[in-house]
Structure 1
Amino acid sequence: MTLYVLRRFVNYAFLSLLATCLVYVLASVILDPAQRYYGMNPRPPQATIDAKLAEMGVSPDVPVLQRLWDWLVNLFTQGSLGVTVGGQDVVAEIGARAGTSLQLLLLGSIIGAVVGVLVGVWGAVRQYKASDQITTYASYIVFATPTFVIGVLLMIAATAFNQLIGTQAIRFTGSYSAGINGSWWDLAADRAIHLLLPTIALVLMGAASYSRYQRNVMLDVLGADYIRTARAKGLPRSQALFRHGVRIALIPMSTFFAYSFGTLIAGSAMLEIVFSWRGMGEFQLQAVTQNDINAAAGGTLFLAILVLFSSTLSEILYAALDPRVRS
């Protein structure tokens, strides 16, 4: 199994690097960092603009492929991703924002996946019954609701709750309260309060997606020959389902979870804006709106690394669930 996982890891690493290079080339073709300086009043001299672009490594006078090569050389020799249009180091910006996004995404995605799988299995076992119909309609409603709308509705509900109890029990602006002091327990409690609403939003979206997928997979498993064989040998229905059915149904879910987790960065961008979280989703949006080539490429590399590790984890789970892979 180790050799299998290692081969898959190398394959994913190559694809991650290829995706990052393609995004760098695409950003270099589409984005124009000089526009930041053209809109200034007074506008800087052209020589100053050219010098700034050359300092960032995005001068249009240098061919795109040459810029990409220089960017890769700096990445592998110095661990540098260049600087943003605002003059900040891209690696430092990603380091500051990555923790903010990951503490939200890890918690929300894991809880959402667990809840979604349980709801999907429950719906498949109780197909067409009231509980299945309710979860189906609820998941479709969540699917049809934009991310930022879910966030705003949660904020409205939290505001009404705070007014009802007469205190600011739920705080949802930023990832922590400005100027807060106290013990580690006070700081952790403050973080947890700020995590509550965006985590609930991610759990709702994740559970809606995973439950539909898990339900369909589980329905296929319920009609499989090995389930009928287990029942014919005298195994109770519940044991046949959970010892054989759920395990098999989780195999495709492991792959689905890996790639869903990687794309959560893009999906959480609107949540980070709604709740004023300075995370990677906001960073990626700002990179595009500010014509920032280095930030766009650096953010893509971070996302590619997330997909790399989550995909490797899915391969490990796949091998653990399917004995044929281990042989």
Structure 2
Amino acid sequence: MTRYLAGRLGYYAALLTAAVFLSYALTGTALGPRAYFEAKQPRPSAASVDRQLTALNLNDRTPVVERFGTWANGLLHGDLGRTIHGTPVNDEFGRRIWVSLRLLLVGTLLGMLLGVAAGAWSAVRQYRLSDRALTVLSFVLLSTPVFLLALLLKNGAIAAKDAAGHEVVPFTGYETPNLAGGIGAHLADWALHLLLPTLTLALGGLAAYSRYQRATMLDVLGADYLRTAEAKGLTRGRALLKHGLRTAVIPMTTMFAYAFLGLFTGAAFTETVFGWHGMGEWFIQAVNEQDVNSVAAVNLFAAVAVLAAGFLADALHAALDPRVRAA
């Protein structure tokens, strides 16, 4: 297993290098920071614009490969460059990364656990009322865009506030400013602010995971090893839980890495709707401002997060499947 994971780690390291270069090259080619400086009033001279762009490593007259080399060299020394406003990208990155990680990790875990449980339950109760209800709910959620789901939840919270006369569930921001109290009060406040954004991401994950889990669970329900386990004295429920679910979960580990990428995309809209100042909101702002270095930093975060999810999926696959461990 160690040998297998070491090989996968090397593969992901090479993939990360390629992903970071391609994302920087595309960003540096597609965005035009020169227009941002030329639009200032009073309009600066062409020489002044060139000096500012060169100082920020954004000059489009410098080959993109050379600009990437400068940026990558800074990255190796822990420097992500400067934003288009001249402030350090590191400062903005450090403020926003924990906001997004909090949302992504909780949303991923909740969506995966609920999706696996709902899919397994739906398969065991195939064609019954609960199965049909979960199927309809899953397709409704799958067909609802993330930003629309976020808006529906936020509007529901606003309606609840209007009806009750006070805020029932926080629907903007990720914490209450200047909150008094100890660590317990702050943790409770973070959990309440996390509720609606996490639910937005988790519902999408629940729908996708449950459909896939239902299909894989149906494949194992009639397996010989389940009948053998029951013949040896295990109840149907224990046989399904101990042997059937473990086998049916194995294909889900592969889906986990790909689903995480979709979750990250959805988080950008979720953060914007709920006023979370995370990486997704920063990405949208940076693209609008033609801020190449900030976009590159967010792309770096996304690449590391997705590939880390892929490596975790491989580790889970190896832990669950003895054939992989023996390879």
Q: TM-score w.r.t. structure 2 length?
A: 0.94
Q: Which amino acid aligns with 1:245?
A: G
**Amino acid of the structure 2 residue aligned with 1:3:** R
In the TM superposition, what is the alpha-carbon distance from 1:235 to its structure 2 partner? 4.1
Pairwise CA distance, 1:206: 1.1
Percent identical among aligned pairs is 45
Aligned length: 326
Alignment of 1:234-249 (within 5 A): 235-249=234-248
Aligned to 1:211: 210
Which residue identity lines up with residue 8 of structure 2 in the other structure?
Answer: R
CA contact (8 A) 1:120 1:214 kept: yes
1:124 paired to 2:123: yes
1:167 aligns with 2:142: no
Match of 1:312 in 2: 311
Give, in whole Å, the separation in 2 of the partners of 1:218 and 1:144. Answer: 23
Equivalent-residue separation in structure 2 for 1:186 and 1:133 (angstroms): 41
Q: 2:223 and 2:296 mapped to 1: Cα distance?
A: 46
Structure 2: 5+ residue stretches without partners = none
CA distance in 2 between counterparts of 1:322 and 1:110 reads 21
* Distance apart, 1:251 and its partner CA: 0.9
Counterpart for residue 17 of structure 2: 17
Cα RMSD of the aligned pairs, angstroms, is 1.7
Q: What are the Cα deviations for residues 242-277 of structure 1, in whole angstroms up to 9, with x where unaligned?
A: 222110111111221233224422211111110011
The superposition leaves residues 274-322 of structure 1 with CA deviations (integer Å, 9 ceiling, x where unpaired) of: 0011111112222222212211221111111112222222122111111
Tell me, in whole angstroms, the C-alpha distance in 1 between the residues paired with 2:176 and 2:45: 42
- The one-letter code matched in structure 2 to 1:268 is A
**Alpha carbons of structure 1 residues 229 and 184: separation in structure 2 relative to 1, 3 Å:** closer
Cross-structure match for 2:256: 257
Higher alpha-carbon deviation: 213-222 or 176-185: 176-185
- 1:51: how far off? 1.1
Please name the residue that 1:32 is paired with: 32
Residues 265 and 280 in structure 1, CA contact (< 8 A), matched pair in contact too? no
Once residues 255 and 93 of structure 1 are traced to their aligned partners in structure 2, the CA distance between those partners, rounded to angstroms, is: 33
Q: State the match for 1:71 in structure 2.
A: 71
Shift, 1:170, TM fit: 1.6
CA shift for structure 1 position 184 = 2.2
The aligned counterpart of 2:201 is 202
Aligned to 1:7: 7
Match of 1:58 in 2: 58
CA deviation after TM superposition for structure 1 residue 186, in Å: 2.4
The alpha-carbon deviation at position 142 of structure 1 amounts to: 0.9
Compared CA separation, residues 158 and 241, structure 1 to 2 (3 A): same
Counterpart in 2 of 1:105? 104
Deviation at 1:212, TM superposition (A): 0.8
Q: Is the contact made by 2:201 and 2:266 (CA closer than 8 Å) also made in structure 1?
A: no
Alpha-carbon shift at residue 100 of structure 1 (Å): 0.4
Instruction: Spell out, residue by residue over 1:147-168, the C-alpha distance to the aligned partner (whole angstroms, 9 max, x if none).
Output: 1211121122212222333322
Instruction: Indicate if the aligned counterparts of 2:147 and 2:266 stay in contact, CA closer than 8 A.
Output: no
Give the match's secondary structure for 2:127: coil
SS in 2 for 1:128: coil
Give the Cα–Cα distance (whole angstroms) in 2 for the partners of residues 226 and 49 of structure 1.
Answer: 71
1:155 and 2:154 matched: yes
Give the CA deviation at 1:234. Answer: 5.4
Structure 1: gaps of 5 or more residues = none
Cα pair distance change 1:55/1:289, threshold 3 Å: same
Q: Report if aligned partners of 1:17, 1:301 keep a CA contact under 8 Å in 2.
A: no
